[in-house]
């Protein structure tokens, strides 16, 4: 049988067909009476080569199947899906921007380590950083004493000038208060004067936006708050809740403190072939318009977006979840706020109302600003207790505790938004991580760090997302 590619697909011969084809070749060459019985030399040769050829044809079949988006895996899946601009989510680390406070001119080399107050998750600074008023989120100034009559004391922030010419009766308090009041009147800045140390500050109203500051002579810089990016030492969704990344592991003179105004953007584990296939299939809806599926597909295409859920209230009244009549609610994990809001407005035509506590001003087709709302999933910490019984007939790995913890965290954080947590489902990934050495597993979970740890299913609300962390997984060896 000759293998051929037809509109119906690729036809691959069986071993029996290949063997018979070789036998027929012998007869065509040496005559119809040539002996090709199974026990003959020619028959045995035909069988050997038929067996080898079927392996080759199977490889051809695998290559053919790898071109099918529904069957391809690994590198070929990456290449296939890239053709429709669906790129696999790779391993990444959590990232967070912190406010660091220190003395003017102090340099922090890259690789400074801070950790989360509750979990001790370590984060490294991504680059070298110098405390400099030219790149500051907040600056504390001090007017030098004594006051120089007639001198123009000036603070310049992003090109805006705040100044005061000292009069004969002016004091440090008067000059400081005058400049501070001008700064505080700027809608992008706040300022206050502290009488004790006789200092005043300038702080951007957005905790994650910095400015360029400069001063005239006779004004000293007391402290600077800068913005520095940190990333988790480990890959995956390593949590750093807002205001918790505060512990400096190796203090440096002149560096006072560190804090993260917002939670870290969680890292990711490499997307499995199955999850990648599901996301690609959803993305095929992207050509649709004015449907929830099309909106979800377009949102999933945005950089940094790892999950999207969309809910709709078709009623004429507010529903049980508090959604406005005839409205939608987008629950989205990752991505840029402005891009998300604009995409929702672009796809969600027809004036359908939106719900949520994240508010974005997006531009409609007429160039007018429209308010778009959505929400971020709330992370729900899940605490896990795994009790394992070693198999006396096998060798249990020395790092069994770490293997179990990592498998629990990786599987748990792959569940996605609003997916209930079923403890029994964690057995398989644990056994896959530790194929030998474990006789039995007992898994209990709780939403409370103190338990009780039960085998019961944990319900996760639709606007929430379960979160697993190594620090919240206890592994116990059964006696």
- Gap between the Cα atoms of 210 and 226, Å rounded: 7
Q: Report the pLDDT value the prediction gives residue 289, as an integer from 0 to 100.
A: 47
- Could you say which DSSP state residue 459 is in? P
Tell me the sheet residues that pair with 363.
369
What single string gives the DSSP state of each residue in 88-149? PPPP-EEEEEEEEEE-TT-EE-TT-EEEETTT--EEEE-S-EE--GGGBSEEEEEE-SS--T
Q: What angle do CA 381, 334, 99 make, to 5 degrees?
A: 80
Percent helix, strand, coil in the chain, to 5, is 25, 30, 40
- Gap between the Cα atoms of 399 and 62, Å rounded: 37
Q: Report the pLDDT value the prediction gives residue 15, as an integer from 0 to 100.
A: 86
- Tally of CB atoms within 10 A around 455: 11
Judge whether 414 and 237 are in contact, CB under 8 Å. Answer: no
Query: Rounded to a whole number, what is the largest CA-CA distance in the chain?
Result: 127
- Gap between the Cα atoms of 446 and 385, Å rounded: 9
Q: Which residues contact 31 (CB under 8 A, 6 or more apart)?
A: none
Judge whether 321 and 418 are in contact, CB under 8 Å. Answer: no
In the chain, what are the domain boundaries? Answer: 4-66, 93-259, 288-376, 379-477
Q: Report the pLDDT value the prediction gives residue 424, as an integer from 0 to 100.
A: 92
- Gap between the Cα atoms of 118 and 123, Å rounded: 13
- Gap between the Cα atoms of 87 and 71, Å rounded: 17
Q: Which residues of the chain register pLDDT less than 70?
A: 1-4, 8, 118, 282-290, 349-351, 416-418
- Gap between the Cα atoms of 44 and 61, Å rounded: 26
- Gap between the Cα atoms of 266 and 93, Å rounded: 7
* Residue 122: closest CA among 235, 270, 207, 227: 235
- For the chain, state the CA radius of gyration: 32
- Gap between the Cα atoms of 451 and 457, Å rounded: 14
Q: Report the pLDDT value the prediction gives residue 318, as an integer from 0 to 100.
A: 92
Q: Report the pLDDT value the prediction gives residue 276, as an integer from 0 to 100.
A: 82
What single string gives the DSSP state of each residue in 209-226? --B-EEE-TTEEEEEEEE
What's the Cα-to-Cα distance from 182 to each of 175, 176, 192, rounded to whole Å?
11, 10, 10
Phi, psi of 157 (to 5 degrees): -130, 115
Cis-peptide, bond into residue 146, ω within 30° of zero: yes
Residues in the chain: 479
Q: Report the pLDDT value the prediction gives residue 75, as an integer from 0 to 100.
A: 86
Question: For the domain 288-376, what is the CATH code?
Answer: 3.30.300
Q: Report the pLDDT value the prediction gives residue 384, as an integer from 0 to 100.
A: 96
Q: What is the pLDDT of residues 68-112, one digit of tens each?
A: 777 788 888 888 888 877 888 889 999 999 999 999 999 999 999
Name the token pair of 109. Answer: 């080399």
Judge whether 136 and 226 are in contact, CB under 8 Å. Answer: yes
Please report how many Cα atoms fall inside a 13 Å half-sphere around the Cα of residue 240, on the Cβ side: 34
Q: What is the pLDDT of residues 141-194, one digit of tens each?
A: 999 999 999 999 999 999 999 999 999 999 999 999 999 999 999 999 999 999
């Amino acid at each position: 049988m000759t293998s051929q590619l037809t509109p119906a697909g690729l036809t691959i011969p069986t071993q029996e067909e290949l063997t018979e084809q070789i036998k027929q070749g012998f007869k065509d060459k040496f005559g119809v009476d040539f002996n090709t019985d199974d026990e003959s030399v020619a028959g045995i040769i035909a069988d050997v080569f038929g067996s080898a050829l079927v392996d080759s044809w199977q490889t051809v079949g695998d290559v053919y199947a790898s071109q099918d988006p529904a069957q391809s895996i690994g590198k070929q899946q990456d290449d296939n899906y890239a053709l429709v601009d669906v790129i696999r989510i790779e391993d990444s680390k959590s990232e967070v921007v912190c406010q660091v406070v220190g003395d003017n001119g102090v340099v922090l080399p890259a690789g400074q380590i801070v950790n989360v107050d509750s979990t001790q998750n370590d984060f490294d600074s991504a680059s070298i950083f110098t405390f400099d008023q030219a790149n500051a989120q907040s600056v504390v100034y001090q007017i030098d004493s004594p006051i120089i009559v007639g001198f123009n004391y000036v603070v310049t922030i992003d090109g805006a000038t705040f100044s005061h010419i000292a009069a004969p009766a002016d004091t440090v308090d008067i000059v400081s208060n005058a400049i501070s009041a001008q700064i505080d009147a700027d809608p992008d800045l706040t300022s206050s004067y502290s009488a004790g140390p006789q200092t005043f500050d300038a702080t951007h109203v957005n905790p994650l936006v910095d400015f360029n500051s400069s001063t005239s002579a006779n004004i000293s810089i007391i402290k600077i708050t800068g913005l520095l990016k940190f990333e988790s030492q480990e890959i995956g969704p390593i949590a750093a809740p807002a205001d918790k990344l505060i512990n400096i592991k190796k203090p440096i003179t002149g560096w006072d403190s560190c804090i993260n105004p917002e939670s870290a953007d969680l890292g990711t584990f490499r997307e499995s072939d199955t999850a990648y296939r599901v996301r690609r299939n959803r993305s095929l809806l992207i050509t649709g318009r004015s449907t929830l599926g099309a909106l979800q597909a377009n949102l999933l295409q945005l950089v940094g977006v790892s999950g999207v859920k969309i809910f709709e209230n078709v009623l004429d009244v507010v529903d049980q979840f508090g959604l406005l009549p005839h409205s939608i609610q987008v629950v989205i994990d990752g991505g840029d706020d402005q891009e998300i809001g604009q995409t929702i407005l672009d796809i969600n035509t027809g004036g359908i109302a939106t719900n949520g506590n994240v508010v974005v001003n997006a531009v409609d087709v007429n160039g007018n600003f429209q308010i778009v709302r959505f929400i971020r999933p709330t992370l729900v910490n899940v605490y896990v207790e795994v009790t394992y019984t070693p198999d006396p007939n096998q060798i249990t790995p020395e790092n069994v505790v770490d293997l179990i913890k990592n498998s629990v965290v990786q599987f748990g954080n792959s569940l996605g938004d609003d997916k209930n947590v079923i403890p029994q489902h964690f057995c398989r990934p644990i056994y896959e991580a530790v194929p030998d050495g474990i006789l039995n597993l007992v898994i209990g979970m709780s939403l409370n760090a103190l338990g009780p740890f039960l085998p019961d299913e944990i319900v996760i609300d639709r606007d929430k997302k379960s979160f697993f962390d190594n620090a919240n997984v206890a592994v116990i060896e059964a006696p």
